[in-house]
Amino acid sequence: MRLLLSVCVAILAVACGGQPSPTVPPAPPPVVAAKVSDAPTAAKPAEVKPVAPALAATKPAPENLAETKPSDAKPALPPTTTTAPAAKPSSGRRFVIDAAGSKIALKTREQFAGIAAPNDAVLETRAISGAIVVDADGKIGGDSKVTVQTTQLASDEPDRDAYVQQFTLETIKFPTADFAPREFKGLVSPVPTNGPVKGQIVGDLTVHGVTKPVTFDFDGTLQGDSFKGTARGETKLSDFGMTVPSVAILISVEDKVRFEIELSARVGGTEAAAATKPQGGARRYAIVADQSTVRLRVTERLAGETIDNEAILTTKAVNGAITIGGDGSVAGGSGFSVDLTTLRSDVGMRDAFIKDSTLQVRRFPNATFTPREFRGLIAAPPTSGAVKVQLLGDMDVHGVSRPVILNVEGTIEGNTFKGRAFGALRITDFGMELPRVPRVAKIEDLARLEMEIVATAT
């Protein structure tokens, strides 16, 4: 889902590649004299296929010629020993992706309940890196690869993003998608160094731990050492072992994903090196409980109703802290806790049932989150400005622990962080049963977690 950009880059690289090196013709093989029979007619010479001298092997003579042993044979002419000139090293060109000028968009068609026309869900990111190497003969170098940080894909709907990250892409386990280009098709030869180029690029796409061959159509312009263009293609979620999203508010989601890539690349550009994590002082951010709120949203449909309703339970009984090292790492001892006994919605009967039968708060009064890793943070948070990262950790609810992704975004002013964190959880993943009461026709097996956070640093 994301990578086609690399395809375009590769294509560009090819377009700028030099013409193939001239092929050195093989030297003529040595002529070997054969015995001649007593018959008056001279024997027909044996047919010998041209072979490079360094690898030449004597081919058995036809049946009408006597077999000649090397020790007996006397060549009519001394064999010609021609040493082929050394091959010129390939003049490969390395097209490096410019992330600032590139973007990948993944599109799939979805149909919302209650809305007549289908809608395109679009997830985008500029978190693209890599390079395409093209030899002088137009072949793609084996070290060519383009990588997309799937953890950075985002749409216009946070709930969609949380679901896709947690359950579809499973970015906790598979944080990147890679495209390894193998071949160009349809390019004119010789490829111009300037002007339009158009064709296809074929390669191997690895997403969600599964690798499949894919083909992208590309169209762009070469200007000296630069390429700008677009690439398009499509795949199926199911081909890569992913499950098509299924949520209450959607009637359907297509299994097909369309890739649309804007690509900018340049020969000799600088690849994004692995960031060196700076060292600095750790900062501990503690939750300000009376200014923070935890909210759980679950979609339900009441008996006799034709539309869904959202049950929302909230509490301010959240506490804890996280210590962030100077290199952006999460220090031991960090964690957050929510008192589930204090959850409240707008219906008291619902609250009592959920806490007694679903959450079973008498046995499991608290939910905890133990953070393990930040993605998108390579140093201690800034003292001012916007912050947008992912926080990976273990959520413990109902006595069951599961890995969870929380998307965190907000701003820091001095020692205060204000923002939110959101994620998606399946109720049954934590060993809980979906509520079954006469008044409720159905409840979705999906809880959307939201946290409005105010935290202060020490």
Q: Any idea how long the chain is?
A: 458
Please report the pLDDT score of residue 273 as a whole number: 54
The mean pLDDT of 439-455, rounded to a whole number, is 94
Q: Is the pLDDT of residue 376 over 50?
A: yes
Percent of the chain predicted with pLDDT > 70: 76
CA 418 to chain centre: 30
Local confidence band at 272 (pLDDT 50, 70, 90 cut-offs): low
The lowest-confidence range among 96-100, 179-183, 236-240, 381-385 is: 381-385
Q: Are 266 and 227 spatial neighbours (Cβ–Cβ below 8 Å)? A: yes
Q: How far is CA 348 from CA 311, 345, 383, 414, in A?
A: 12, 7, 43, 41
All domains in the chain, ordered by first residue: 4-18+90-267 (2.40.128.110), 283-457 (2.40.128.110)
Chain segment 189-241, per-residue pLDDT in tens: 776 788 898 899 999 999 999 999 999 999 999 898 899 999 999 999 999 99
CA distance 85 to 27: 11
The mean pLDDT of 414-423, rounded to a whole number, is 96
Local confidence band at 33 (pLDDT 50, 70, 90 cut-offs): very low
Q: Is the pLDDT of residue 20 over 80?
A: no
Q: Are 149 and 133 spatial neighbours (Cβ–Cβ below 8 Å)? A: no
Q: How far is CA 424 from CA 10, 13, 159, 357, in A?
A: 37, 41, 8, 21
The lowest-confidence range among 73-77, 195-199, 301-305, 309-313 is: 73-77
Q: Is the pLDDT of residue 10 over 70?
A: no
Percent of the chain predicted with pLDDT > 90: 59
Local confidence band at 326 (pLDDT 50, 70, 90 cut-offs): confident
Q: Select the more confidently predicted residue: 66 or 154.
A: 154
CA distance 23 to 21: 6
Q: Select the more confidently predicted residue: 361 or 50.
A: 361
Q: Select the more confidently predicted residue: 289 or 188.
A: 289
DSSP, collapsed to helix, strand or coil, labels residue 234 as strand
Please report the pLDDT score of residue 194 as a whole number: 86
Please report the pLDDT score of residue 431 as a whole number: 97
- pTM comes to 0.73
The lowest-confidence range among 82-96, 291-305, 311-325 is: 82-96
Q: Is the pLDDT of residue 118 over 80?
A: yes
Please report the pLDDT score of residue 439 as a whole number: 87
Tell me the average pLDDT of the chain. Answer: 82
Please report the pLDDT score of residue 381 as a whole number: 79
Please report the pLDDT score of residue 458 as a whole number: 82
Q: Where are the beta strands (DSSP E) in 280-375?
A: 283-287, 293-302, 309-315, 318-324, 335-339, 366-375
